[in-house]
Structure 1
Amino acid sequence: MAHQTGSKRRVSVSEIAQLAGVGSSAVSNWRKRHADFPLPLAGNSVDLFELTEVTDWLSLHGKDVAPLDEHETLRRLWNSWIDGARSRDTGSPGHAALLFLQALFLREYRDRTSAALPLPESLWQRIVGSSEAHVRAAWDAAAVVASQNSSALHRALAVPAHVTGIELREAVQVVALAQIDPIRLPATVTSLLRDLAANNARFGPDAGTPAGIAELLIRLLEPIGGTVMDPAAGFGLALGQIAEHAAHRSDVRLLGQEINEVSWKLGVLHLNFYGSFVDIADGDSLRYDHFRGVLADRIILHPPLGVRFDANENLFDPRWQFGTTKTADWMWAQHLVHHLGERGRGIMVMAPGALAGSGRNADIRRGLLDADLIDAVIELPPGLLPGTAISVVLVIFARDRAARAGEVLFVDGRKLGLNRRGQLNEIADAEIARIADVVMAWHEGRNHEEPQFSATASVDEIRQHGAELRPQRFIRYGGQSTQVNRHVVLSDVRVLADSVASSLREIESSSPSIAEVNQLLQISWPADSRTLRIADLLRERPVTGTRHDPAGEHDAVPWIATGEVTGGAGVLTDVPEAFTRGRIKGRLARRGDLLLASRGIDRSARARCAKIDVPQEVAFSESLMLLSVNTDLIEPDYLRLVLTSSSGYEALAAATTGTTIGNLRADVLEEIEIAVPDMKTQRHVVAWFGRLEQASRDLQVAAQSSERFLAGLRDAVADGYLGITA
């Protein structure tokens, strides 16, 4: 993977980090602390090191050396370049990504053109060897050759005038570091652009369809062949995924249109990596239909959701067969069906709000239903799109519906998906297959109905409900009482009754008596009680929790969510089931430490502090603050009781900053003073409070068991298996 020149193979700091299995910051520390660390090679704008010198040094210092992975190294270079965008005149992440992708395209184009050049060197090597004053001229010459058959590609390769020769040469030097597997490169570029869309809110949820949703869209459109169109192409992510799926098909033609200039250029470059027949036009598809008159076999459409639209600009456009409206959702739907061929099928991403309501939107829905163009409606869970928490709706349109005329399939997938902390939620491969199987069964005339998941409804029934298309309107959610075994139901109810009785016995055995509580209240405080600052009671300064960091110290560590502290018991005894995803950087909590809610502190919180009683180190949410208690001075549980008291609430509220969200300030927290009795008294108080807290938890368990018992009785009555006699 390392770049090779002559007899020397060179590696960057990020590649050294990959070799050693550490973060880039660790490599920077080695360079400062170890005088024998290899020196960078001269003559490069980016620090590069000879590979053999680096591996020898790593071995000498007892550090394992891992093989360099081309895909991962390219991703590291990309992330480093994008992260530094704001410190360069390239400005936004989008412009930085474009410059990187332009250089990458020219680099990979060189081998296909060098044989036809009259020059002894390839165009790319001329760019790499150019000075800051001449690099733009070499770049422009290469761009002319690389785009000689495509005016769109020529525009996409043009470098903006504000980019300086220094920045252009820096981009070239960064891209020159990677030795790339050309077979994997197109899919890698798709992955990099997908990350760009997901991690930069300025592009919104419409710059690129996430991989899971794109995979589902493609599965629902199979078989894919002929002309495939994406009227809101973004970075070309969906079309790129189709190009990868249809790599063996010679009849696939990809068409797209994109309104954003930077996104359009990224999309043109991206899809040209695949070498597919592709035509990506620029401009607004609704206002200027570049592919007027083109009929597509398949259409995949993820437009901007819920935006306003002024149809007066092209009021008499033949696309608006079913009317116009002030929101664009159903205008996009009409654009899609207008371009469908005789046997064409298209799928569109919508917001749930577009499926219901009255007025012009309802009129357009009725028109599409009467024309028998709506084939299926699928609702997916929330959190799948970047920049928004709304759920996702997929609407399938089709021309050839003879076997399914007058009916629409509905699928409710809101309970599907994998919730991922701090990242987009995912829909699993098995869930994609489940939805695709239902739609395929529907198309093939096989059984496709599943209670609480899928059902069909007639167009007449849908019209009776105001042309509403929400799946939950037509899917049956009731239980199947005829399939319930009477003995099983009654057995379950008896088990619930035993659970209630057991919980009540636990309360009776664990609850202190009134006399014991009075004894606790009669504790006399010793005369030598002290008032100490919290800072005096800690081993270290308070720190907030973990943050995702590609160069962090830890990976896959058990992780405590904020809710486990703010809404749970005062002591955490079980190893968390959740784990950190990706590398994390921050403090790890150990047995005896306290975790304190550091954000959103208010007096209504049930519990805002918990003691760690877990046998191993755990990571914790960045909304929590770690207090490492000096157990020679104070019992952790005693400090927890003080901080969760009324006076503790008042003190913590005064230690926050911010208006809408209170953020606990460590420096103010350290100055809070509390009364600290001797250790014997502390342990006495903690022991009694522990019994009281356990009794309270037992009472909650009993209440939950009672609720389940009552729910079981209700179900038994509803199913006709339980009679009550006077």
Structure 2
Amino acid sequence: MPPSADPSVSVTLAEIARIAGVGRAAVSNWRRRHDSFPAPVGGTDTSPQFALSQVEEWLRRQGKLDEVGGRERLWPEFEALGDRDAMGMAIAVTGARLGTAEAGHAGHAAGLLSETAPARLGTADAAVGIPVGISLSDAQRALVERAVSLARKQGAYETFDFLLGRWLDTHVRQIGVTPPPLADLMAEVAELSRDGEAGDVGTVLDPACGTGGLLLAAARRWAGSGSARTPLKILGQDIDPTQAALAAMRILLAGHLPERGDASWEVDVQAGNTLRADPHPGIRADVVLCNPPFNERDWGYEELATDTRWTYGLPPRTESELAWIQHALSRLSPGGTAVLLLPPGVASRRAGRRIRAALLRAGVLRAVVALPPGAAPPHSVALHLWVLRAPSGDGTELGRPVLLIDAADVRTEPSGGTQKTGRAAIDWPLLRKIVVSAVQTGGNGGNLPVGHVSVPLIELLDDEVDLTPARHVPKTTISTDLSLRRSWTRFGTLLHELRDLTATLSALELSTEEPAGQGTVTVGDLVRAGALTLRAGQQPADGAVRTGDAPTDSVPVLTVSDVLAGCGPSSWLPAYEVSAGEAAGTLTVTVPEEVVVVGAYRAFGAWVDTDAPTVLGPQLFVLRVDPTLLDPWFLAGCLRAPANARRAGTHTSTSSRIDVRRLQVLQVSLEEQRRYGETFRQLTAFERSLREAGAVGRELVDGLTNGLSAGRLPRDRR
């Protein structure tokens, strides 16, 4: 691929590493060792930006440009288009060009997604309708040509999938995606809920398909399940034309993968408002999979008041999810199954209780599954899966109990990308095993490591009609025992750590005499002397901060509320946004060995940030020391003294603020600072272990109390 013709396209050190197929440390080493390495054209000292064209040329001269980096070299040019839709449509047209080429190899080319007008792309086993005009700029057209050229070498689907993945990562705040493990689970649950008709799926619909994750999972599960004369029909719609186009191309290209074998499907994805203008009014699907938008207010309450889809009652204005549930049921064939991903409030909000009761009486609601937080956006919420079955016409569904599964605690210990935030990751294999086993047995599967129960309708049809699984499902014996064993193991480890630290710290004997010749100096004095720099935390832009499971390259965001909660950062930002914010001066980001100080009296503290980078919010401050003059651990230890906070507080109430510049530090030599600093480090470790031991101890007390109060003390066998 030729180098970028646009010199304005820039890349970070991490992107250079991906282009060259090496680690970031190797790129930093090249930059130090080679005077010819391109100079930064922007960014900051901690996150510099380099011209892509200069980087490519330098890598070629050095023989370090690996062919596998072709897609990585291509992506910065897509990103330079700037506009989300401009990038997305260029990727969609790339997919159309690649799909036509793939179909052409099989002798089935029948059209092309036009770059200037609406069109349809069809093959013998695929038909994609996207009713939007696409007008590309010269830059977009040139980029599409380079992408198509690269795809001929590195694979059509692989190239398109890479570009789509990067586009989604770049715009993760604006676009919610159903994670692949959850999409596969929803398709499997739909199959298992068809009461023995799993091999008879001819049509699958997603009325809010986004970029097509659920449709792709359906295509892979049911391709080839229809008759030879009637291939599987994949139908979708989304209000966002760009996402609809990308979904169509994604599924089309997946149909040309070698592993697809003889399976085939037809694809029809449309752009438009599903509730107001459904393009598939006559369709009766065997399966509906949907992750609809949540908490919409302008979903069409007034104009759709008399719509025939509201068989179970007019959805309240504040209950848009109930409109999506009834839309899904209206598009199912008799006995068809729908699986929807919904917020937990749908199961309990007072405004929706009449419709929930009507769904129960009609026997169409089969199961509600409470998922762990982080299963899908919004990641801070424990979402629910609703499994519904359209009436078959013979009345067999009436009076059936409802399966409730509480899998909200199916998570692993913090690891990988969640380590910085301290949040648990989802154990997807265990979650699948639990849900699938419960659905297969109808709630009679014995001792699973999570609670599930089949609840008679009479117990649900009360004044509240609350379908929240946690309200009805007791904790299982197995889950309680496993939790207790893990807690005892962790508690024992913490006790060992505390014993070692206690032996060291208890040996310290503090002098009773007033130290001679030791004065103090304020942080303000040290700033003026150049011994350290002081920066204040800043509020990220509205809506920029994400919650839930964080990607590997994300940066945690720390707030005063997080410090008060004592659980570490609870939110994060993508790395590319942090780099941009740091370059623009709108974000405060730490580097290793910097000292963080909380400027709020109620949460006052100071520590060395060993997990940098961290984005700091308001009332947090970061101090960067000159290592030839100050030891960071010594500085943090002096600053965090409670007496120091009282002296520097603006007034005596707990809502006061700390004037960080007035905090005082001992004046001792650097060698003495390091001696003090090592002791402060041990004291910090002691405090952390003590706090965690207290939390684990409370878990043990609660677990044992619950077990004993339930009569689970073993019998005396003497």
Category of TM-score, reference length = shorter chain: 0.5 to 0.7
1:145-184 map, 5 Å: 153=129, 155-156=131-132, 158-160=133-135, 163-164=136-137, 166-180=138-152
- Residue type of the alignment partner of 2:382: S
In structure 2, C-alpha distance between the alignment counterparts of 1:49 and 1:706, rounded to whole Å: 55
How big is each residue's C-alpha offset from its partner over 1:444-500, in whole Å with a ceiling of 9 and x where there is no partner? Answer: x8626647421110111111363211001211127589x99xxxx9xx99x999999
How big is each residue's C-alpha offset from its partner over 1:416-450, in whole Å with a ceiling of 9 and x where there is no partner? Answer: 2466449999644413431442244235x862664
Matched, 1:196 2:196: no
Tell me if the contact between 1:504 and 1:702 (Cα under 8 Å) persists in the aligned partners. no
User: CA separation of 1:380/1:638 partners in 2, compared to 1, >3 Å: closer, same or farther?
Assistant: same
Which residue of 1 is the match for residue 284 of structure 2? Answer: 295
Matched, 1:621 2:614: yes
Normalized against structure 1, the TM-score is what? Answer: 0.67
User: CA separation of 1:319/1:681 partners in 2, compared to 1, >3 Å: closer, same or farther?
Assistant: closer
**Secondary structure in 2 matching 1:271:** helix
Matched, 1:229 2:205: yes
**Secondary structure in 2 matching 1:604:** helix
Larger Rg: 1
1:15-26 map, 5 Å: 18-21=19-22
Which residue of 2 is the match for residue 371 of structure 1? Answer: 362
1:105 to 79, 96, 100: 96
User: CA separation of 1:258/1:679 partners in 2, compared to 1, >3 Å: closer, same or farther?
Assistant: closer
1:131-150 map, 5 Å: none
- Residue type of the alignment partner of 2:384: V
User: CA separation of 1:104/1:596 partners in 2, compared to 1, >3 Å: closer, same or farther?
Assistant: same
Tell me if the contact between 2:403 and 2:455 (Cα under 8 Å) persists in the aligned partners. yes
In structure 2, C-alpha distance between the alignment counterparts of 1:259 and 1:190, rounded to whole Å: 22
Shift of 1:717: 5.0
1:409 to 403, 407, 430: 403
User: CA separation of 1:691/1:458 partners in 2, compared to 1, >3 Å: closer, same or farther?
Assistant: closer
How big is each residue's C-alpha offset from its partner over 1:555-605, in whole Å with a ceiling of 9 and x where there is no partner? Answer: 99999996999969xxxxxxxxxxx99999999999xx744226x642223
Matched, 1:318 2:322: no
1:556-595 map, 5 Å: 594-595=593-594
User: CA separation of 1:477/1:543 partners in 2, compared to 1, >3 Å: closer, same or farther?
Assistant: same
- Residue type of the alignment partner of 1:105: A
In structure 2, stretches of 5+ residues that fail to align are 4-9, 40-51, 192-197, 256-264, 538-550, 565-572, 583-587
User: CA separation of 1:27/1:260 partners in 2, compared to 1, >3 Å: closer, same or farther?
Assistant: farther
User: CA separation of 1:185/1:453 partners in 2, compared to 1, >3 Å: closer, same or farther?
Assistant: farther
- Residue type of the alignment partner of 1:319: R
In structure 1, C-alpha distance between the alignment counterparts of 2:336 and 2:658, rounded to whole Å: 55
In structure 2, C-alpha distance between the alignment counterparts of 1:371 and 1:640, rounded to whole Å: 64
Matched, 1:643 2:639: yes
Bigger Cα displacement from structure 2, 461-470 vs 421-430:
421-430
- Residue type of the alignment partner of 2:19: Q
How big is each residue's C-alpha offset from its partner over 1:383-412, in whole Å with a ceiling of 9 and x where there is no partner? Answer: 333456322111001146948951111111
In structure 1, C-alpha distance between the alignment counterparts of 2:38 and 2:503, rounded to whole Å: 70
In structure 2, C-alpha distance between the alignment counterparts of 1:139 and 1:310, rounded to whole Å: 33
Tell me if the contact between 2:501 and 2:682 (Cα under 8 Å) persists in the aligned partners. no
1:559-708 map, 5 Å: 594-597=593-596, 601-605=599-603, 607-610=605-608, 619-623=612-616, 633-645=629-641, 649=645, 674=665, 676-678=667-669
- Residue type of the alignment partner of 2:22: G
Matched, 1:252 2:227: no
Which residue of 1 is the match for residue 569 of structure 2? Answer: none
Tell me if the contact between 1:520 and 1:688 (Cα under 8 Å) persists in the aligned partners. no
In structure 2, C-alpha distance between the alignment counterparts of 1:561 and 1:603, rounded to whole Å: 20
In structure 2, C-alpha distance between the alignment counterparts of 1:558 and 1:387, rounded to whole Å: 16
Which residue of 1 is the match for residue 293 of structure 2? Answer: 304
Tell me if the contact between 1:254 and 1:278 (Cα under 8 Å) persists in the aligned partners. yes
Shift of 1:708: 7.2
Shift of 1:349: 1.1
Which residue of 2 is the match for residue 434 of structure 1? Answer: 433
In structure 2, C-alpha distance between the alignment counterparts of 1:384 and 1:318, rounded to whole Å: 33
- Between the aligned residues of both structures, percent identity stands at 17
In structure 2, C-alpha distance between the alignment counterparts of 1:234 and 1:522, rounded to whole Å: 70
In structure 2, C-alpha distance between the alignment counterparts of 1:506 and 1:111, rounded to whole Å: 65
In structure 2, C-alpha distance between the alignment counterparts of 1:242 and 1:305, rounded to whole Å: 22
**Secondary structure in 1 matching 2:388:** strand
How big is each residue's C-alpha offset from its partner over 1:111-131, in whole Å with a ceiling of 9 and x where there is no partner? Answer: 7559999xxxx999xxxxxxx
In structure 2, C-alpha distance between the alignment counterparts of 1:202 and 1:708, rounded to whole Å: 35
User: CA separation of 1:261/1:215 partners in 2, compared to 1, >3 Å: closer, same or farther?
Assistant: same
Tell me if the contact between 2:520 and 2:665 (Cα under 8 Å) persists in the aligned partners. no
1:490-501 map, 5 Å: none
Which residue of 2 is the match for residue 576 of structure 1? Answer: none
Tell me if the contact between 1:381 and 1:416 (Cα under 8 Å) persists in the aligned partners. yes
In structure 2, C-alpha distance between the alignment counterparts of 1:258 and 1:536, rounded to whole Å: 60
Tell me if the contact between 2:497 and 2:689 (Cα under 8 Å) persists in the aligned partners. no
Tell me if the contact between 1:376 and 1:408 (Cα under 8 Å) persists in the aligned partners. yes
Which residue of 1 is the match for residue 187 of structure 2? Answer: 218
In structure 2, C-alpha distance between the alignment counterparts of 1:432 and 1:107, rounded to whole Å: 37
Which residue of 2 is the match for residue 358 of structure 1? Answer: 350
User: CA separation of 1:176/1:541 partners in 2, compared to 1, >3 Å: closer, same or farther?
Assistant: farther
How big is each residue's C-alpha offset from its partner over 1:174-210, in whole Å with a ceiling of 9 and x where there is no partner? Answer: 424513468x6446645644553454256443xx422
1:238 to 210, 214, 224: 214
Which residue of 2 is the match for residue 392 of structure 1? Answer: 383
In structure 2, C-alpha distance between the alignment counterparts of 1:200 and 1:533, rounded to whole Å: 42
In structure 1, C-alpha distance between the alignment counterparts of 2:664 and 2:636, rounded to whole Å: 14
- Residue type of the alignment partner of 1:58: Q
Tell me if the contact between 1:562 and 1:597 (Cα under 8 Å) persists in the aligned partners. no
Normalized against structure 2, the TM-score is what? Answer: 0.67
- Residue type of the alignment partner of 1:371: A
In structure 1, C-alpha distance between the alignment counterparts of 2:59 and 2:293, rounded to whole Å: 49
User: CA separation of 1:708/1:314 partners in 2, compared to 1, >3 Å: closer, same or farther?
Assistant: closer
1:315-354 map, 5 Å: 315-325=305-315, 326=317, 327-354=319-346
Shift of 1:344: 1.2
**Secondary structure in 2 matching 1:314:** coil
User: CA separation of 1:496/1:385 partners in 2, compared to 1, >3 Å: closer, same or farther?
Assistant: closer
Which residue of 2 is the match for residue 129 of structure 1? Answer: none
In structure 2, C-alpha distance between the alignment counterparts of 1:289 and 1:447, rounded to whole Å: 40
**Secondary structure in 1 matching 2:269:** strand
In structure 2, C-alpha distance between the alignment counterparts of 1:557 and 1:381, rounded to whole Å: 22
Which residue of 1 is the match for residue 44 of structure 2? Answer: none
Shift of 1:317: 2.6
Shift of 1:287: 2.1
Tell me if the contact between 2:438 and 2:452 (Cα under 8 Å) persists in the aligned partners. no
Tell me if the contact between 2:560 and 2:603 (Cα under 8 Å) persists in the aligned partners. no
Shift of 1:314: 3.2
In structure 2, C-alpha distance between the alignment counterparts of 1:264 and 1:218, rounded to whole Å: 20
Tell me if the contact between 2:245 and 2:269 (Cα under 8 Å) persists in the aligned partners. no
2:516 to 512, 524, 531: 524
Matched, 1:34 2:36: yes
Tell me if the contact between 1:259 and 1:282 (Cα under 8 Å) persists in the aligned partners. yes
Which residue of 2 is the match for residue 447 of structure 1? Answer: 445
Shift of 1:511: 4.4
Which residue of 2 is the match for residue 42 of structure 1? Answer: none
In structure 1, C-alpha distance between the alignment counterparts of 2:139 and 2:399, rounded to whole Å: 59
